[in-house]
Structure 1
Amino acid sequence: MACPWAAVAPVCALATSLSGARPKTAMSNGSINHGRILRNLMRLMDVTCGHSLYEVLPRGVQMWLPEQERGVYPDLIVVAGAPLLHDGQADRVLNPCVLFEILSDPTPSYSPEAAALPERGGLFRQCRAIPYLQAYVFVHQTEARVEQFYRADAEHLWGMTAQTGLDSVVELAITNARLPMMDIYAQVDSSLLV
């Protein structure tokens, strides 16, 4: 299964946006559980911080990486205030403060041996240089497990928290949002959760 993030070269992205065609990208295959987790996260984030200073943007909106001159598609983007747009393009956000990635099983760039390393999804190293980014959250699809990497200080040091089990609560580092694991995994096929 492909990594749920996809990179699109600028020329290709521009050509497909002008033609109205959707780019062919290496996103996950969209399992029912992936869709349910994404829907649940959207609802939770909208209720907990969508009506305040934050805006929640779904999969399909590009997060633009200026240094790499390409866009990527996280599962969920949270911005503080209004989205800053690259070159006025309405689908290229520059200022994510929280990113969510729903991990598929198996996500090729995910290594259980590297569980303590914040490099899952292949883009964390690149994304953590974004000055607006405060948290990067990985939601596992085959177990009730959520890992959050958060900016610990101005020196680019990152901390990590992990929640496991449906009775846990994820507390987002920046938004003060509390996301009950039971709600994140609502209606997810429990036979697939380890």
Structure 2
Amino acid sequence: MHLQPLIWLTPQQYLFQERQAETKSEYFDGEIFAMAGASREHNQISANLVRVLGNQLLDKPCSVYSSDMKVRIEKIRKYTYPDLVIACQGERFEDEHRDVLLNPVVIIEILSNSTEAYDRGRKFLHYQLLDSLIVYLLVSQDTPRIEMFTRREDGTWLYAEFHGLDAIVKIESIECSLRLGDIYHKVNLPDSIG
């Protein structure tokens, strides 16, 4: 049996290839990982989050970016595509293409069955290496539930959980609020959820 040799890429080779590609791939220490498509619910939640946060950030020195903005985690040579990312005053990018953000303040991941364990575990550990990151949100796809991790001044993370369509998540670092009813608007939820 012949094994396919692994091809290791430099970050520069990855970025060149990724900017030409029709599909998205993440990069971790020389390896490339193809990304799967998202469900209708995932896309609706993402659109709702961009709309709600974008409206609240209109007159503030922050911007919200959807899943096409890459984030570089320099300490582990990783490029990733968060579902949503927010950067504030002093946004820094890798190069003149301005498609790789270096200093996100808030990262949001929308959970799916195939990514939930990774988003909660190793991916969150990787995101914690970003000194600029203050808030990490995990948004459920199938029930109105948002989990928020907030970095405190001593470097530890505070956990909070929000349930139900009337719940409100306050993201103090960017002075924004998320009412779950707005985030789950037009999302097909199980009938037992009210």
Q: Deviations over 1:24-44 (max 9, x none)?
A: 454353111000000000001
| Corresponding residue number in structure 2 for 1:48 | 56
In 1, Cα distance between the equivalents of 2:97 and 2:87?
A: 16
In 2, Cα distance between the equivalents of 1:135 and 1:193?
A: 30
- State the one-letter code of the partner of 2:152: A
Note the 1:7-156 alignment, pairs <5 A: 10=11, 11-17=13-19, 19-24=20-25, 25-107=33-115, 109=117, 120=120, 122-153=122-153, 155-156=154-155
Secondary structure, in 3 states, of the residue corresponding to 1:174?
helix
In 2, Cα distance between the equivalents of 1:193 and 1:14?
A: 48
| Corresponding residue number in structure 2 for 1:113 | none
Aligned length: 177
Contact 1:169–1:180 (8 Å) recurs in 2:
yes
Unpaired runs of at least 5, structure 1: 1-7, 111-118
Contact 1:143–1:193 (8 Å) recurs in 2:
no
Contact 1:142–1:192 (8 Å) recurs in 2:
no
TM-score scaled by length of structure 1? 0.82
| Corresponding residue number in structure 1 for 2:169 | 170
CA RMSD of aligned residues (A): 2.2
CA separation of 1:184/1:23 partners in 2, compared to 1, >3 Å: closer, same or farther? closer
What is the identity percentage for the equivalent residue pairs of Structure 1 and Structure 2? Answer: 27
CA separation of 1:120/1:74 partners in 2, compared to 1, >3 Å: closer, same or farther? same
CA separation of 1:156/1:93 partners in 2, compared to 1, >3 Å: closer, same or farther? same
Contact 2:82–2:107 (8 Å) recurs in 1:
yes
Secondary structure, in 3 states, of the residue corresponding to 2:117?
coil
Contact 1:13–1:23 (8 Å) recurs in 2:
no
Relative contact order, higher structure (CA 8 A, sep 6+): 1
In 2, Cα distance between the equivalents of 1:132 and 1:85?
A: 13
In 1, Cα distance between the equivalents of 2:136 and 2:91?
A: 17
| Corresponding residue number in structure 2 for 1:116 | none
| Corresponding residue number in structure 2 for 1:181 | 180
| Corresponding residue number in structure 2 for 1:157 | 156
Q: Highest Rg: 1 or 2? A: 2
- State the one-letter code of the partner of 1:65: I
In 1, Cα distance between the equivalents of 2:64 and 2:125?
A: 23
Deviation at 1:143, TM superposition (A): 1.1
In 2, Cα distance between the equivalents of 1:54 and 1:34?
A: 23
Secondary structure, in 3 states, of the residue corresponding to 1:85?
coil
